[in-house]
Homo-oligomer: A and B are copies of this chain.
């Protein structure tokens, strides 16, 4: 019996990746285009169509039964539309309808990129075997997704788990989202770097002012760099603890560029979590680094689509 395949799309502000993925999460075929993020909506869509054309031209395409899309948000799974912040040409863009039009009417599952990463970590990564988990991406922005009761919790519009934009400082700095004191405004890479520079940290001869450079300085003992990571860890801890207190999770998985900073982030994060996750039912919460690599978006989109079709063989992606 031939195994069903899923065509997965991972749509971000930089690249549009596609793949054919089997029921074990293995990537059999790949295609990719840069995202023409500053062009009009139809031009962006043409890049998606080129990726799909490469996939549909393969002999394996005949085994594809469902399409999974993980997209930069916000998305709206209820209407099949997307409005990625970094792709201004797409506002309430009917992505699902347009993808269906060029793929012979196959069913299409649309989720946000944070939800996709979560599906991947739950299927094959650090959240494997956990029925209640928060998975996060901490990089230029802060995103995430939830597994509740053993299943991906995408929410009615596919955006659940948006931990970067929960308020942990109700009188805090305004956020571009319109709110204030958001986790992202304190814990994202650019904000870690901004805070270190404001505190007097200066880059080395290479002029690198990224959060990775601040992390290197923190590892070397620079107190301003250390303090900036500690503040980010405090905001992440407050947000993770809030999530655990609201929905009961037993593990938080942190990935993304800032997540790769290692103990410079995770040591203060574990300490701060003890301060904010205090109720009996959240005290056992652990926080660990993500395990999935750059294919997480594709594998997660595939997992979500297969789960919706009831054919994922992975434990608990349901």
Chain A interface (Cβ < 8 Å from any Cβ of B): 74, 76, 83, 131-132, 146, 148-149, 153, 155-157, 159-163, 165-171, 177-181, 234-235, 238, 241-243, 245-248, 250, 275-281
Contacts and interface: CB of A to CB of B under 8 A. Distances in A.
- Copy tally for this chain in the complex stands at 2
Nearest to A169: B170
A246 B74 contact: no
Given A148-B148, A165-B245, 13 more contacts: A76-B280, A132-B155, A146-B247, A160-B247, A162-B245, A162-B246, A167-B242, A168-B170, A169-B169, A170-B276, A179-B276, A179-B278, A181-B238
Given A242-B166, A242-B242, A248-B159, A281 B179 contact: no
A174 to B, nearest CB: 10
A243 B242 CA distance: 9
A235 to B, nearest CB: 6
Contacts of A181: 238
Contact of A167 (B76, B276, B281): B276
A246 B146 contact: yes
A247 B246 contact: yes
B246 A163 contact: yes
A234 B166 contact: no
B148 A153 contact: yes
Contact of A180 (B148, B162, B165, B275): B275
A146 B148 CA distance: 12
A127 to B, nearest CB: 15
Contact of A170 (B177, B238, B247): B238
Contacts of A155: 132, 247-248, 281
A157 B281 contact: yes
Contact of A280 (B83, B163, B247): B83
A165 B279 CA distance: 8
A83 B241 CA distance: 21
Nearest to A83: B280
